[in-house]
A and B are shown apart, each in its own frame.
Chain A
């Protein structure tokens, strides 16, 4: 059924309104009938009845007054009664006229005409009756009894008939009213019950059409309110609840996506915060290092400044030293000239020593030859003595004396050999000493020659040194100025570094504050993540 809730509601109300309209129409119709009956009662029946009653009472009062007049004791009472009779007659006439206004039907008209005819003899006989009555005689009573009473009864019967007519008319009218009212009541009840039943039926269907999806929606919304975004309605309806359910599902999807993004973002934010915190700590450490380094550089710069000042002093000392050096170099140059001459003399002396050493070598060689000869002799002697001893041994007893001699000879030969050995040793030492001396002298003379050349070169170098040192003095002054500028620069650097150190310290403080802020941010982020993690998402 492609009926929307709005259409449903409108339909329901339309049905109820139609039923009520019907009910109202019926009731109005009934009431209109009752009203018409009421109008009849008011215009016709009740005034007719009333006038008839008045007529009867006036008629009856006339008869009663007549009888009272007859019984009246005195003249005054009779007059008074007569007056009353006149008044009563006027009243009767007035009532008659009034009743005539309520005559509508032909029966009533006939009755009215009948009354007029019936009352006319009585009224006509009335003055006669009054005149007779003044006499209180028998005639009066007879007149009354014979003439007046029948006339009265005749008219009275008509009046009673009229009265009855009117009464029955009024009764019929009231009975019709009561019937119409009862019918209206029944109709109203029936329509009321029908309307009630219809209203209940449409209301039930409307309630069913609203409350069922509303219940589903309420439950879904409660689930969602607890943070569970996994539920979906998927209602197969085309009405507003279908739209609402689609909207709810779309909202669930959107919220799921959003919360998922928020969770992801929360984690990312958390990790980013951690990274930021780590970076901040590194920066803090770096800033602290920078501060420390700056302080060290400042100390170094101050040292440089101090060193520069010392350097200035040293440079002036060097400058004076250079002047002294120049003077000393001049002295050294003259000393070197003398030294060169001395070296020449040493060279000559060396040559004569060399010649003498050559002679010594020759002599030692001669000694060596002699020693060799002696050695050979001793060797031969030893050999001979050995052979002699052996021969003497072989000769036995005869050779004994010879053997002693041979032994003595060998002893002498050995001594000679030992002595020559010593001499040979000495000569050899002399020879080696002499040759070492010759070599040493050769080296010495070579050294002296080289020394002479060196001295000459040193002299030249010294004159160059003097020139350079003299040229250096003005340069020392410029160096001095440069070093002073350096000292000033170092002091400026020290000041700048002090400022830098302060700035680094401030940076460290700022970073510490940032760190605290990041810690708080981290707490907030953790709270956010915890809060978001309470949401349950569709898998």
Chain B
């Protein structure tokens, strides 16, 4: 099973390639005034606006550093069981993939209520990789802010 790797700070994280729509170079998003800090704004993807979440801001409390390797990962984000919306994630060092059996991931042993999206972990020669569950990425308030509006319209 293929995973897309990225970094938050010095640590490496992984997202299942099956959830990834595309990897895009970093663009300057349109800012959304009044939104939480983790919401970097929105950008145009094939003619439709996609909300953009800064993972560094969300997890570490600081904006992602503007590098070539800092890219936008477009994922499918399930709003409910029938519908899913596209969501842009700004992550650092998005330049590698990892092929790994999901069974090799084991629970981390530390449960974080503030970050429910952090899943089990696996090791390779360069250290520990933690699986990020994109389904539980957004807090309820942010999810309502970003997607309820589009449901109504």
Closest to A389 in B: B97
Would A383 and B23 count as touching, CB distance under 8 A? yes
Would A390 and B95 count as touching, CB distance under 8 A? no
Counting CB contacts under 8 A, is A379 at the interface? Answer: yes
Partner of B22, one of A390, A393, A403: A390
Min Cβ gap B89→A in Å is: 14
Give the distance in Å from the alpha carbon of A387 to the alpha carbon of B95 in the complex: 10
Counting CB contacts under 8 A, is A357 at the interface? Answer: no
Give the distance in Å from the alpha carbon of A45 to the alpha carbon of B57 in the complex: 200
Give the distance in Å from the alpha carbon of A239 to the alpha carbon of B100 in the complex: 158
CB-CB contacts below 8 Å: A393-425 with B:
393-394, 403, 407, 410, 414
Chain A neighbourhood of B68, CB < 8 A: 375, 379
For chain A, give the interface size range: 10 to 19
CB-CB contacts below 8 Å: B1-57 with A:
1-2, 4, 17-18, 20, 22-25
Would B2 and A387 count as touching, CB distance under 8 A? no
Partner of B17, one of A382, A383, A393: A393
Partner of A394, one of B17, B25, B71: B17
Would B23 and A387 count as touching, CB distance under 8 A? yes
Counting CB contacts under 8 A, is B94 at the interface? Answer: yes
Number of interface residues of B (CB under 8 A): 17
Give the distance in Å from the alpha carbon of A383 to the alpha carbon of B24 in the complex: 7
Min Cβ gap A46→B in Å is: 193
Partner of B18, one of A380, A382, A393: A393
Would B95 and A389 count as touching, CB distance under 8 A? no
Chain B neighbourhood of A389, CB < 8 A: 2, 17, 97
Closest to B71 in A: A383
Would B95 and A414 count as touching, CB distance under 8 A? yes
Give the distance in Å from the alpha carbon of A375 to the alpha carbon of B20 in the complex: 25
Min Cβ gap A464→B in Å is: 65
Would A386 and B2 count as touching, CB distance under 8 A? no
Min Cβ gap A399→B in Å is: 10
Chain A neighbourhood of B97, CB < 8 A: 386, 389-390, 407, 410
Give the distance in Å from the alpha carbon of A390 to the alpha carbon of B22 in the complex: 8
Closest to A376 in B: B68
Give the distance in Å from the alpha carbon of A407 to the alpha carbon of B98 in the complex: 10
Give the distance in Å from the alpha carbon of A383 to the alpha carbon of B20 in the complex: 13
Chain A neighbourhood of B2, CB < 8 A: 389-390, 393, 403
Give the distance in Å from the alpha carbon of A390 to the alpha carbon of B71 in the complex: 15
Chain B neighbourhood of A375, CB < 8 A: 68
Q: Which of A383, A386, A403 has the most CB of B within 10 A?
A: A386
Can you add 15 more A-B contacts, CB < 8 Å, to A390-B4, A410-B96?
Answer: A379-B69, A380-B25, A386-B95, A387-B22, A389-B17, A390-B20, A390-B22, A390-B23, A390-B97, A393-B2, A393-B17, A393-B18, A407-B97, A410-B95, A414-B95
Chain A residues packing against B (C-beta within 8 Å): 375, 379-380, 382-383, 386-387, 389-390, 393-394, 403, 407, 410, 414
19 contacts between A and B (CB under 8 A): A375-B68, A379-B69, A380-B25, A383-B24, A383-B71, A386-B94, A386-B95, A386-B97, A387-B23, A389-B2, A389-B17, A390-B4, A390-B20, A390-B97, A393-B1, A393-B18, A394-B18, A407-B97, A410-B97
Name the 4 nearest CB pairs between A and B, nearest first. Answer: A393-B2, A393-B17, A386-B23, A379-B68
